[in-house]
Amino acid sequence: MFSIPFLDIAALQSATGTVQLPGSKSISNRVLLLAALCEGQTTVLHDVLASDDTDAMLTALQTLGCEIERQAQQVRITGLDRQSLPAQAQLHLGNAGTAMRPLTAALALLVGPGQAFELTGVARMQERPIGDLVDALRQLGCAIDYLKNPGFPPLALRAADPQKLQASGSIQIRGDVSSQFLTAMLMALPLVAKERDYVIEVVGELISKPYIAITLNLLARFGIVVRNDNWQRFTIAAGSRYQSPGQLHVEADASSASYLVALGGIASDPALGQAITIEGVGEDSIQGDIRFIDAARQMGVHVETGPNWLRVQRGQWPLKAIDIDGNHIPDAAMTLAVMALYAEGTTRITNIASWRVKETDRIDAMVNELSKLGAVVDSGPDWISVAPPAADAWRSASIATYDDHRVAMCFSLAAFNPASVAVRIEDPRCVGKTFPDYFEALFALAQPKPNAVPVICIDGPSASGKGTLAAHVAKQLGFHVLDSGALYRVAGVAARQRGLDIAPEHAPALADVARSLQLVFDGERVLLDGRDVAAAMRSDAGSRDASLISAIPAVRDALLQWQRERAALPGLVADGRDMGTVVFPDAPLKVFLTASAEHRAERRYKQLISQGFDVKLASLREELEARDLRDTTRAVAPLKPAVDAKVLDNSDLSVAEATEQVLQWWRQAYAGAAFATLGHD
Ligand SMILES: Nc1ncnc2c1ncn2[C@@H]1O[C@H](COP(=O)(O)OP(=O)(O)OP(=O)(O)O)[C@@H](O)[C@H]1O
Ligand SMILES: Nc1ccn([C@H]2C[C@H](O)[C@@H](COP(=O)(O)O)O2)c(=O)n1
């Protein structure tokens, strides 16, 4: 997961490959709660989504006394014992609507005399309505108080009035704001439907019916059969009792699939043999958002399906603009608004009022962010229309994500824009709500446009702090790191292991060694042919050999391609001596990092002493100056600043100050003026 302030996505060209989707959030949080409601029974849930929202549910259930064992995607839950619920509990549910609504209903019915539960969430959760659910529960005699604003969390729950609970067999609930209210009632009522039927009457048009269908399907798996009269009246029969299915497999997330279906439709050209294969969810999914594939097909995308997979390729291009009622696919429909950027004409998505009460006001969010890219966007209370920018009207944009995972994921698709303008996703960590590794999955499937992967070069003399600075800058940007010095060090070790003298007359053999290095960088370990050579390559002899072998032109040539191939999405910070002059001459930012010999010798001295080496400052300084001389005077790729490098003397700078300087240069160099005013400068 990218836990960084922003993620720059390079201009992307195409996409192909296979992706295994994470588990469905809607199913995961429902079955976690249903399993917890199976009093005393154990359920093993497989392929459960690991995300912020499921963490919120699991933590709440544990606080309530549920026994939970979690191993990767498998969760073993023993149902709550009503008698051992705590007297008091405070549940923080983040921004997880699928935890807040059903837990409110279940706990409002479970809370006993003398007990009190509080349910709260992040600031946005405190703006998301829950009044219709509370009104429905109050009809049953539930005692629920608003702790801040009427109609919104946080809530306080106390024991229901038992007489009223018995008396009221019919409950009315609004269905036109969020289907989660009805889901919550459907999941809670089996807890009390012992001796009589409970009937739920839906007031107003029920939205997002497919989500209710998921709830009914899962209730049936847990032994509760609900009578559904035309989506207006639901009956939970007397004698209903939760019964664990023992084991249950969670389908992959159909809403998350929408980004990858769109990816295939935008970027997988069948003429080039490209396709996106999505594993874990197929056309027979119980999730309503699977119907997104119909909308994608209408736009011209080619989608094949099987029992548990989808295969997607670009069909018609540009895509066809569509006019669609998005009510049945409220979450996935957001992806259509970004696909509209690649369509001919104006796409209109209607009947999506629920977007306004999701993680953010999604209609406003989409209008704001699509407009930044140059699209022509209009909207109303429950609709949005999007016309793509003209070819020359695309603008680079820093996309605000409003702590909304879906905004972040769908706007990543804008990086395929024909103008190759930069796309920055702010706060990319928000995808942790449902698809923590979304960007990793995207980068594994997508190919950048030629030379589009951004590279930051940090060259400079020994012990100037290149490696340290490279690691800090890369961490801030979510980029990969290339320590090219390590490559020459390993080449030296490999040559010695093969009994070769490191001298110019052995250049062809040394180049062969360099070309065939079998290398794995694994944290502190460096595996050469499977054996850790980190200590050998960092020894004095290792440093000398690296300096000698790096002066041999054939060796440098042999290692050139390998280094260039390290430039992978989302970007690379490369440190060495010739990163800016030879390996990545077109890099948008080149830094030549230097410091006085005195400072550098002192830093290296402290570094080695802290690692337990017995060294002398004076001899270290002599060796360092000798190495500087060799590196700067050698015939091939000598150490020198590239003509367009920015020189940074960090003699009197801390690592944090030097990092900030490079990031500032980066913001100017890569994103340019487009992002200068957008909050990171
Ligand atoms: N700005 C700085 N101020 C103080 N110390 C620093 C600074 N930058 C790096 N150092 C320290 O200097 C030492 C050498 O840094 P580092 O190993 O990153 O240098 P390098 O240029 O990559 O060296 P080499 O070329 O030998 O690989 C480390 O102990 C590091 O913590
Ligand atoms: N791009 C590079 C990187 C390193 N070298 C040489 C310079 C050093 O003598 C040796 C080890 O480098 P270090 O780990 O100290 O950065 O490799 C080079 O020539 N070109």
Coil vs helix vs strand at 308:
coil
State residue 635's pLDDT score.
Answer: 84
Average pLDDT over residues 537-548: 89
Coil vs helix vs strand at 210:
helix
16-42 exposure pattern, b = at least 16 Cβ within 10 A, e = fewer: bbebebbbbbbbbbbbbbbbbbbeebe
Q: How confident is the model at residue 67 (pLDDT cuts 50, 70, 90)?
A: very high
Tokens representing 307 are 């029992």
Would the pLDDT of 415 be above 60?
A: yes
- What ligand has the least distance to the C-alpha of 462? 1
Would the pLDDT of 166 be above 80?
A: no
pLDDT tens, 578-593? 999 999 999 999 999 9
CB distance 485 to ligand 1 below 6 Å: yes
Q: How confident is the model at residue 679 (pLDDT cuts 50, 70, 90)?
A: very low
Task: Give the residue ranges of the annotated binding site.
Answer: 25-26, 30, 97, 128, 178-180, 208, 331, 358, 362, 406, 433, 460-468
Q: Where in the chain is the domain with CATH 3.65.10.10?
A: 6-22+252-448, 25-249
pLDDT > 90 in the chain, percent: 85
Q: Which atom of ligand 1 is nearest to the CA of 610?
A: 29
Q: Which of 603, 605, 610, 657 gets mutated to test ligand 1 (max ligand atoms within 8 A of its CB)?
A: 603
Q: How confident is the model at residue 97 (pLDDT cuts 50, 70, 90)?
A: very high
pLDDT tens, 343-383? 999 999 999 999 998 989 999 999 999 999 999 999 999 99
The verdict on domain 484-568 having CATH code 3.40.50.300 is yes
Nearest to 642 by CA among 591, 581, 594: 581
Would the pLDDT of 447 be above 60?
A: yes
- What ligand has the least distance to the C-alpha of 485? 2
Q: Give me ligand 2 centre to Cα 157, in Å.
A: 65
Would the pLDDT of 675 be above 60?
A: no
pLDDT > 70 in the chain, percent: 98
State the catalytic residues: 331
User: What is the Cα–Cα distance from 101 to 26, expressed in whole angstroms?
Assistant: 12
Q: Where in the chain is the domain with CATH 3.40.50.300?
A: 453-479+570-681, 484-568
CB distance 603 to ligand 1 below 6 Å: yes
* CATH architecture entry for 453-479+570-681: 3-Layer(aba) Sandwich (3.40)
Q: Whose CA is nearest to atom 8 of ligand 2?
A: 547
Q: Please count the CA atoms within 13 angstroms of the CA of 594 that sit on its side-chain side.
A: 12
Q: Give me ligand 1 centre to Cα 575, in Å.
A: 12
- Helices then strands, counting H and E runs in the chain, come out as 22, 35
Nearest to 290 by CA among 275, 268, 310: 310
User: What is the Cα–Cα distance from 371 to 625, expressed in whole angstroms?
Assistant: 55
Q: Give me ligand 2 centre to Cα 487, in Å.
A: 8
User: What is the Cα–Cα distance from 475 to 348, expressed in whole angstroms?
Assistant: 40
Q: Whose CA is nearest to atom 6 of ligand 1?
A: 465
Q: Give me ligand 2 centre to Cα 139, in Å.
A: 75
Q: Give me ligand 2 centre to Cα 484, in Å.
A: 7
The better pLDDT of the pair 14, 633 is held by: 14
Q: How confident is the model at residue 404 (pLDDT cuts 50, 70, 90)?
A: very high
Q: Which of 483, 550, 555, 579 gets mutated to test ligand 2 (max ligand atoms within 8 A of its CB)?
A: 550
Would the pLDDT of 572 be above 90?
A: yes
Average pLDDT over residues 400-417: 97
Q: Whose CA is nearest to atom 9 of ligand 1?
A: 465
The fold of 25-249 is UDP-n-acetylglucosamine1-carboxyvinyl-transferase; Chain (3.65.10)
Burial class (CB in 10 A: 0-12, 13-18, 19+), 450: exposed
User: What is the Cα–Cα distance from 360 to 97, expressed in whole angstroms?
Assistant: 12
State residue 543's pLDDT score.
Answer: 87
Average pLDDT over residues 665-678: 63
Q: Give me ligand 1 centre to Cα 440, in Å.
A: 30
Q: Whose CA is nearest to atom 8 of ligand 1?
A: 465
Q: Which atom of ligand 1 is nearest to the CA of 653?
A: 1
Mean residue pLDDT across the chain: 94
* CA dihedral of residues 616, 618, 624, 629 (deg, nearest 10): -150
The residues facing 355 across adjacent strands are none
State residue 210's pLDDT score.
Answer: 87
Q: Give me ligand 1 centre to Cα 538, in Å.
A: 14
Task: Give the residue ranges of the annotated binding site for phosphoenolpyruvate.
Answer: 25, 97, 128, 180, 362, 406, 433
Would the pLDDT of 137 be above 80?
A: yes
Q: How confident is the model at residue 672 (pLDDT cuts 50, 70, 90)?
A: low
State residue 681's pLDDT score.
Answer: 32
Average pLDDT over residues 122-130: 94
Q: How confident is the model at residue 426 (pLDDT cuts 50, 70, 90)?
A: very high
Task: Give the residue ranges of the annotated binding site for ATP.
Answer: 460-468
Q: Which helix (H) or strand (E) holds 67?
A: strand 67-71
Task: Give the residue ranges of the annotated binding site for 3-phosphoshikimate.
Answer: 25-26, 30, 178-180, 208, 331, 358
CB distance 467 to ligand 1 below 6 Å: yes
Would the pLDDT of 162 be above 70?
A: yes
Q: How far apart are the first and last CA of the chain?
A: 24
What class, spelled out in words, does domain 6-22+252-448 have in CATH? alpha beta
Average pLDDT over residues 392-414: 96
Coil vs helix vs strand at 528:
strand
Q: Which of 457, 487, 488, 640 gets mutated to test ligand 2 (max ligand atoms within 8 A of its CB)?
A: 488
Ligand 2 site residues (CB inside 6 A) read: 462, 484-486, 488-489, 546-547, 550, 576-578, 627, 631
User: What is the Cα–Cα distance from 530 to 624, expressed in whole angstroms?
Assistant: 31
Q: Give me ligand 2 centre to Cα 454, in Å.
A: 22
The angle formed by the CA atoms of residues 348, 292 and 339, to the nearest 5 degrees, is 50
Q: Which atom of ligand 1 is nearest to the CA of 650?
A: 1
Average pLDDT over residues 189-208: 91
Q: Which atom of ligand 1 is nearest to the CA of 462?
A: 25
Q: Which atom of ligand 2 is nearest to the CA of 579?
A: 1
pLDDT tens, 216-271? 999 999 999 999 999 999 999 999 999 999 999 999 999 999 999 999 999 999 99
The residues facing 565 across adjacent strands are none
